[in-house]
Structure 1
C-alpha cells in the first residue's frame, strides 16, 4: 500500500472535539510530512485551530445551511483525495461528505455510526468500546497503516494573546478560572454552588476569574454566579477570544468547568482541570491527559436515573436529565480544589 499523498479530514465541531483532532494531524504529519492535509472545520472552530502549520483549511458555516455546503463543495472543486477521514456522524456532516471526492472513505465502526453514516464511507475504524473520544479519533489513522502512539497539540497562541492575558492576570498569584457554562444546558452546575467554591478559593488567597463567551446564556449564568458570590471575582465573560482564552490557560493553575469546550482547550496546554461530571462520562469525554481533579458522579447519575450502574449502560451514554448536576455537592468540588492546590 503506497503512502497517501492527500488526505481530507472532516470534523467541523465542536470545540472540544476539534482539539481531539489535532494529535491526529500531528501523527499524520510525522509519518507523511509531504502529504497534503485538508481539514473541513466549523467557522468558530477555525478560529482556534486555523493557524496550524501544514494544513489547508476549508470553513463550513453550518448556519448558512445548504449555501454553506455549496461553499465547501466549490472550495474543493477539482480536488480528489487519496483518503477522506469522516470523523463526524451527524446527518449534516454525512451529507456534506458526499461532495468530497476520495478513493478511500474511512468512517466509524457500526456501533458508533448513525444518521446514514454507513452510506457515505467504504472503510471503518476498528470497533472498540471504552475509548476516550480522543483515542477514537486517533484511530482514524489505523486503516491507513499508522498507530497514534503519542499525543501532541502545540496549538499556536499568538504573542498578542499572551500580552493580553498577562495584563488581565499579572504577577504569580495562584489563579482559579471558572468557566461555568456548557453548550449543553443540562451539564451546567448551580450558580450558587459555583459561587461557594469561588468564595472558598478567594479565602485561600487565590485570584478567581469568571470566564465565558459572549452568548446571552453565558452572560445570564455569569450574572447569577456573581450575584451569589461574597468575594467578587474578576469578570472577563465575553471579553476574550479563543486564542486569548488559551493564553489565560497558560497563566492559571486550575480551571473549574462542566464538560465543555474550554475543558479540552485547557487540557491541551497542561492546565489542571476540575471537571464536573454527572451528565457525561469523564472517562470518555473528560480532560484527556489528567482526570485526577474531576468530580465524577456519572455512576451515581446512572443508578438514579437509569436504575443500573454505569458499567451496565452503553459506553458514552449521556444522562442529561433535569437535576442531574445537583448530585455534585459543594464539598465534592472543594475537596478536588484542595487536592489540586496541594500539588
Structure 2
C-alpha cells in the first residue's frame, strides 16, 4: 500500500546538500511549494557552502550539514531535529551519504526519484517515487517533486537574496565599468575534465574588449588549479582588459558580480546556474556533460554544445546510445570547443539583451 501524500502539508522537509548549481536549480521548486501552500513551513537540509550561497532565502529554514563532519555531524543534525516531524520529506539527493542522513529524520512520507533516475539505491530509503520523466533537465527533475504533491505549474521564480554588502564587495573589484564575467574552472574533482583552454578564454577576452569595450572579470575559488589557470589567461591577454578576482570574493560577492555582469561565460559549473537564477545572460561551454540535462535552463539556446561530438569521438557511440547523464571523462573533450564558437554565441546573447532590455541583468540593485 502506498503511503498517502499530504493534501495540505504543514511542514515540508527538503533534503538536498549539494552542489552550488544544483541548489540554484532547486529554488524554483521551493518557490512553487511556497505559492501553493504559503502557510507551510519549509525546512531545507543543505550543505555548508551551499548554505553560504542561499542564506536568507525568504520563507525557508535551513539546517546545515557539513559533509566533512561525517557521522558525528549526522548525529548532531539528528539531535537538532529530534523534535521535528515532516509531513513529507523530499529526498532530492541521489547519494548514499544523504540517504543514510535521511534515516535519522522523522517524516510521515518520504519521496524520492523513480528507479530510472535514482542512484545509490535511493529507492530503498523512500516510500514514494516520482513518476518517470525520461531525459529530464535537472531543474525539471526537481520540479517533479512539487508536481507529485499536486503543485500547479507556474512561471519559474528565484528571488535569490544578495545583500548590499555583497554589491559593495563587487563594486570594489570592478568599479562602475561594464564587464564580462569569466569563471574558467569547474569544481577541481577527479576526472572532471570540464575546463576549457586559457588560449580560448584569452581570445574571448580580446573580442569582448575590442568589439564591446568590456573588461573581463576572472572569478573562481582559491585552488592552485584555478589560480594557475587565471595566470595563464592573464599572460595571454592585454592587462587593461582583465580584472583578476579569482579567490577574491565570498559566494554572496560572486552572486553580486554575476548580477552586475553583462554576461557570463563558463563551463558546466555553479556560476552558469547562478547567472541563470539571477537573470544574467550566460554562455555555457559543454562537451563533457549533456546540456539537454544540465545547461543553464533559461539560456539553453546560447550554449556551445559539443557533447554529441565528444560522445562520438571518445565513447564511440551516438548520444542516443548512452545513458542519460553519461559524462565524457576524457581530458581532450573540451578542446572540441573552438574560440569562434564561443565568440559567436557571446555576440548572439549580447545582441539579444541589447534588443530586449527587459531580459538584461540588474546592474546596481541590491
1:113 aligned to which of 104, 114, 118: 118
1:190 aligned to which of 174, 197, 212: 197
2:313 aligned to which of 285, 304, 325: 304
CA distance in 1 between partners of 2:75 and 2:233 (Å):
42
C-alpha contact 2:95 2:119 (8 A) present in aligned 1: yes
CA distance in 1 between partners of 2:154 and 2:314 (Å):
37
1:101 aligned to which of 106, 118, 122: 106
1:224 positional shift:
2.1
**Structure 2 residue matching 1:255: 3-state secondary structure:** strand
C-alpha contact 1:37 1:54 (8 A) present in aligned 2: yes
Matched, 1:337 2:342: no
C-alpha contact 2:36 2:152 (8 A) present in aligned 1: no
List aligned pairs for 1:318-329, cutoff 5 A.
318-329=327-338
C-alpha contact 2:275 2:281 (8 A) present in aligned 1: yes
Matched, 1:277 2:298: no
**Structure 2 residue matching 1:257: 3-state secondary structure:** strand
Poorly superposed stretches of 4+, deviation over 6 Å: none
CA distance in 2 between partners of 1:105 and 1:31 (Å):
19
1:228 corresponding residue in structure 2: 236
Instruction: Give the gaps of 5 or more residues in structure 2.
Output: 1-5, 353-366
Tell me the TM-score normalized by structure 1.
Answer: 0.96
1:93 positional shift:
0.7
Instruction: Give the gaps of 5 or more residues in structure 1.
Output: none
C-alpha contact 1:51 1:156 (8 A) present in aligned 2: yes
2:132 corresponding residue in structure 1: 127
| Most deviating of 332-341 and 163-172 | 163-172
Count of aligned residue pairs for this structure pair: 342
**Structure 2 residue matching 1:291: 3-state secondary structure:** helix
1:193 positional shift:
1.6
CA distance in 2 between partners of 1:314 and 1:114 (Å):
13
2:223 aligned to which of 206, 209, 215: 215
2:84 corresponding residue in structure 1: 79
C-alpha contact 2:283 2:299 (8 A) present in aligned 1: no
Tell me the TM-score normalized by structure 2.
Answer: 0.90
C-alpha contact 1:161 1:243 (8 A) present in aligned 2: yes
**Structure 2 residue matching 1:342: 3-state secondary structure:** helix
1:203 corresponding residue in structure 2: 210
1:172 positional shift:
4.8
2:141 aligned to which of 131, 136, 139: 136
1:165 aligned to which of 162, 167, 170: 170
CA distance in 2 between partners of 1:143 and 1:256 (Å):
35
1:143 positional shift:
2.5
CA distance in 1 between partners of 2:52 and 2:59 (Å):
16
